[in-house]
Amino acid sequence: MHVAESVSEGYGVNCARCGATLYQNRPASLARVSAFSLTALLLMTVVHTSPFIIMDAGSLRTTLTLPGAAHALISQGSALVGWGVAVFTILTPLVLAGGLIYVCVPLLFGRIAPGAMFVARWISITEPWNMIEVFLLGVLVSLLKLGKVAELQFGMGFWAFGILMFCMAAGVAAIDKKELWDRLEVAKTHE
Amino acid sequence: MNEISEQFPPRGASQGLASCHICEKVSPISDVKCRRCGSHLHFRKPDSINRTIALMIAAVVLYIPANLLPILTIRELGIAREKTIMSGLVEFWQMGSYPIAIVIFTASIMIPLLKIFSLLWLCGAARGLIPCSAKVMGKVYWITELMGRWSMVDIFVVAILVAMVQLGNYMTVTPGPGALAFAGVVILTMFAAMSFDPKLLWDRLEQKTSPDSNISDCE
């Protein structure tokens, strides 16, 4: 157990016992979380509507979108796996980015949104289940398999997804979760 | 006093203080619920080792069909070929795509096995059956928790192939039962890693140096 002392922006504190980082005061945390999460949310609309890859095999053309991949599994008899893909690549990033905006934007103005504690709990629970970077690796592996079969083109969705992945990672990493909880607690007592 | 308690600051559980599992606020255990976020307070994650082992057993059982059953079926000009995780890997290797073969091998075969072994090792160490250094074990736990998600890559490849390769009579891909089993393995090992409490390792180390310590009963 350590007594928590405040640290200046950009610094952190380590555990004397195991050496793990206990908490960090990351620079401009709230503003950066809000900016990256908002960008991520806007990019999601592009990612879910425009194709990742366009494949031409003879006269046939098929396209890949995130909801399309989940839907294909559901309609081809692997409903459970399909819903899993939807949860890990569509629902979880949405809860994470949406939740962070909902909690952090009012905190920027020193206020607390109604139910912010509940939303913050859900952010902690969903964080390990966000798998968009794993999906991008899956796209790259699939490209090699499909490259033998047909002609492939990258769509707008692919590039938007790359930026989305960066924004999600940057948004989640911009604030120490303990700092977020501390700020929520302070905002609540000042209400 | 023993060497460890002289060297380091005192631990919370010995003073009736618990850290919330969700928001990590330290409160007296007598509060029952965390004052900040409302989660239930425990000194250690409840029934940690038993839950971890139960989830691991389920994962090990599912690991067998996950590798034996096909994860997808390719129908090319009327001829059906079933692909397992291993046959997909072998195909990439024979094609000469060594980097991809290594990525698939790491994500689909090595990581699930490593997770199963390292969690069993951690449970053994926390029970005191295997000697350990908590510092090393803490790192093992951290890596185990971090890498679990990457095993999902093969499931996403199946989803992408099923969505894209629908070329009528020429070629179609349908998902196989192995995909469900494999997704189950990944999800179960992730839950198993989450239900393990690495603080139990420190409890064990503390108990070894001072046998009268009662922290190990906090589980």
Percent of chain A scoring above 70 in pLDDT? 86
Torsion, CA B70, CA B73, CA B76, CA B80, rounded to 10: 60
CA–CA separation, B88 vs B72, rounded Å? 10
Residue B216 has pLDDT above 50, yes or no: no
Report the candidate in A104, A125, A120, A107 with the shortest Cα–Cα distance to residue A188. A107
pLDDT classification of B218: cutoffs 50, 70, 90: very low
Please answer yes or no on whether B22 and A121 come within 8 Å at the CB atom. yes
**Residue A100: what pLDDT?**
92
C-alpha gyration radius of chain B: 23
Q: Which of A49-53, B3-7, B76-80 has the lowest mean pLDDT?
A: B3-7
B219 inside domain: no
Q: Are residues B27 and B60 in the same domain?
A: no
Same domain flag for B106 and B152? yes
Nearest to B159 among A85, A149, A177 (CB): A85
Strand B166-167 relative to strand B79-83, pairing: unpaired
Please tell me the predicted confidence (pLDDT) of residue A25.
65
155-214 in B: which are within 8 Å (CB) of A?
A: 155-168, 170-171, 174-175, 179-180, 183, 187, 190, 194, 202
Put simply, the answer to whether A77 touches B175 (Cβ < 8 Å) is yes
Residue B24 sits in which domain range?
1-43
* pLDDT surpassing 60 at residue B2: no
pLDDT score for B219: 40
Tens digit of pLDDT for each residue in B101-160?
888 888 888 888 888 888 888 888 877 777 777 677 777 777 777 788 888 999 999 999
Given a cut of 70, is residue A11 above it in pLDDT?
no
pLDDT of residue A125: 87
- Interchain CB contact of A169 with B (< 8 Å): no
Contacts for B18 with CB less than 8 Å, ≥ 6 apart: B12, B26, B27, B28, B29, B41, B42, B43
Does residue A58 sit at the B interface (CB-CB below 8 Å)? yes
How far apart CA B44 and CA B197 sit, in angstroms, is: 7
B35 & B64 share domain: no
Residues B16 and B63 in one domain: no
Based on the fold, state whether residues B22 and B71 are members of the same structural domain.
Answer: no
Cβ distance of A128 and B171 shorter than 8 Å? no
Q: Are residue B39 and residue B142 in the same domain, yes or no? A: no
pLDDT in tens, A82-138: 999 999 999 999 999 999 999 889 888 888 888 888 898 889 889 889 999 999 999
How far is it, in rounded angstroms, from Cα B121 to Cα B116?
9
Q: Say what the pLDDT of residue A17 is.
A: 67
* B218 located within any domain: no
Whether residues B24 and B124 share a domain: the answer is no
Evaluate whether residue B159 is within a structural domain: yes
DSSP structure class, residue B69: S
Position B9 scores a pLDDT of 64
Domain membership flag for residue B217: no
Asked if residue B182 is part of any domain, the answer here is yes
Edge to edge, the sheet with strand A151-154 lists A60-64, A53-57, A151-154
Q: Within its chain, how far is the Cα of B3 from the centroid?
A: 33
Whether A61 and chain B come into contact, CB under 8 Å, resolves to no
Pair (B72, B179) in one structural domain: yes
Average pLDDT over residues A155-160: 91
B160-199 per-position pLDDT tens digit: 999 988 887 788 889 999 999 999 999 999 998 888 887 7
* Distance separating alpha carbons of residues B136 and B144, to the nearest angstrom: 12
pLDDT at position B188: 93
pTM: 0.84
Domain check: are B21 and B80 in the same one? no
CATH number at residue B87: 1.20.140
Residue B189 to residues A41, B103, B116, B129, Cα–Cα distance (Å): 30, 19, 7, 22
Q: Are residues B33 and B130 in the same domain?
A: no
Give the model's confidence band at B62: pLDDT under 50 very low, under 70 low, under 90 confident, else very high.
very high
Q: Are residues B30 and B76 in the same domain?
A: no
Per the structure, the count of domains in chain B is 2
ipTM higher than the 0.90 cut: no
Share of chain B above pLDDT 90, in %: 19
Q: Considering only CA atoms, which of B90, B109, B98 is closest in space to residue B153? A: B109
Residue B72 and residue B165 share a domain? yes
